Amino acid sequence: YLLRPSVELALTVLDGAKFELVGEEVKVTEADFSKSKGAAGGDGGEENSDDAKKKADKYAHVPKEEIRKNAALLKRKAERQLGWDGFDDEHDPTKTMVVLRNIYDETDLEEAIKDGLNAQTFSDELKEDVAEECQAKCGKVENAYVNANGIVTVRFKEPESADTCLHLMHNRWFGGKQIKAELWNGIEKFIGLKNIEKKETEEEEKRRLDAYAASLGQDSDSDEG
């Protein structure tokens, strides 16, 4: 790892984790290079070789592909728990990610579709609006996602910005709906709104756009009248 705190976190999270493939716990310790070959007159190298052979024999019955798969799962688990995403993040995501509930509802989505939008466009525009306001009033936003069930998640660079967002957004009224804001608990999973929309066929898209164009014509006629 690049940073010393990352080593300490890895020891805390991974040491004792269950290696499901063989039903045993993983033992994680800080690397000790004093036992490398030649460090103690060559004896250390021979001991390490014996240890390596014993471990190889222990897992000889396990297919290599299964070992690699399990190792990858363990790595992803560590990244999720530490909030790394493969890198050394400075802060725990449970202290920087705010969950905003009741930002929108099905009626909002239906109205957007009547206006010629689809779920992806609706999601992109809402994400931009929320992210811009949070960045302007709370602090640097790392990312924001529009999820199903009226939820928008916003991840800030600093925990202080997330706290500001909680105080600003919790119980605030937005589009006739009262927002609930809370820090992510590290467990709840979300589904992106645009990921659950059924992909339109060309015919369905044409009907939607034609209906939108027709509604614009009606509005124009009523204005002239």
pLDDT in tens, 64-103: 777 677 777 666 666 555 554 444 456 788 899 999 999 9
Q: Identify the pLDDT of residue 85.
A: 46
Confidence (pLDDT) at 174: 83
In eight-state DSSP terms, residue 85 is: T
Nearest to 147 by CA among 82, 208, 194, 202: 194
pLDDT of 88: 44
Specify the pLDDT at position 26.
Answer: 72
Q: Is the whole-model pTM more than 0.75?
A: no
pLDDT at 40: 46
Round to the nearest angstrom and report the end-to-end CA distance of the chain.
71
Whole-number Å distance between alpha carbons of 88 and 84: 5
pLDDT at 84 (0 to 100): 45
Report residues of the chain scoring pLDDT below 70.
Answer: 1-6, 13-14, 17-24, 33-62, 67, 73-90, 196-201, 204-205, 208, 212, 215-225
What confidence score (pLDDT) does residue 135 get? 94
Distances from the Cα of 17 to the Cα of 60, 78, 169, angstroms: 21, 10, 38
pLDDT of residue 210: 76
Find all residues with CB under 8 Å of 23, minimum gap 6, and list them: none
pLDDT at 57: 65
pLDDT at 175: 80
Average pLDDT for the chain: 76
Cβ-proximal residues to 20 (8 Å cutoff; 6+ apart), any chain: 70, 73
Cβ atoms of residues 197 and 110 within 8 Å: no
The pLDDT assigned to 101 comes to 96
Position 30 scores a pLDDT of: 81
Q: How far is CA 170 from CA 157, 163, 167, in A?
A: 19, 11, 6
Where do we find the tokens 């709370």? 138
